Amino acid sequence: MKKLLIGLIGTILLLTGALKMSQQLTKNTQYNDLTVRYYLGMTFPKYNHPAKLYDEINLDKVDNIRKSKETMSYYTGFYKDGKLIKFEKYSNDNKVMDFAYEYDEMGNLIKIYKNNIEVGKPLQKRMEKKKTGAC
């Protein structure tokens, strides 16, 4: 059931993104309870998730990057309640990759997805399991 829900959320985000890409860009947008922002840079602090997006840009800059003949990248971040739940990397107008994050009710990161495939749990969770002897 959880995988179905995650797939449904991913589909909704994809459809929202497709709709967003087909419309004239005007401003950073709020979709239902998601806030969408655009950035030039991304890093994984201490090689860990969630990623940190930086150098926020406006939609005019995004539009220029999409139309540019020079290869340029930007990131689209989706936030819910101030937490990054997904980001997508674009090279000009082509999506290169995406990461999605699942949090527990306390706001702790519990799952990481790359291109809609679960790739792991946060480093802190793996460390806790080693300390407690859990597998």
In angstroms, the CA 98 to CA 121 distance is 16
Cα-based torsion angle of the residue sequence 43, 82, 100, 17 in order, rounded to the nearest 10 degrees: -100
| Total number of domains in the chain | 1
- Find out whether 7 and 15 touch, Cβ atoms under 8 Å: no
Q: What is the pLDDT of residues 13-49, one digit of tens each?
A: 554 554 444 444 444 455 568 899 999 999 988 778 9
Judge whether 115 lies within some domain: yes
Judge whether 9 lies within some domain: no
Q: Is the pTM of this model over 0.75?
A: no
Residues paired with residue 104 on neighbouring β-strands, in sequence order: none
Nearest 5°: the CA angle 29, 69, 17 is 25
Q: What is the pLDDT of residues 92-130, one digit of tens each?
A: 989 999 999 999 999 999 999 999 888 877 765 555 555
Judge whether 114 lies within some domain: yes
Judge whether 63 lies within some domain: yes
What is the number of other CB atoms lying within 10 angstroms of the CB of residue 135? 4
Whole domain around residue 65: which residue ranges?
34-132
Judge whether 82 lies within some domain: yes
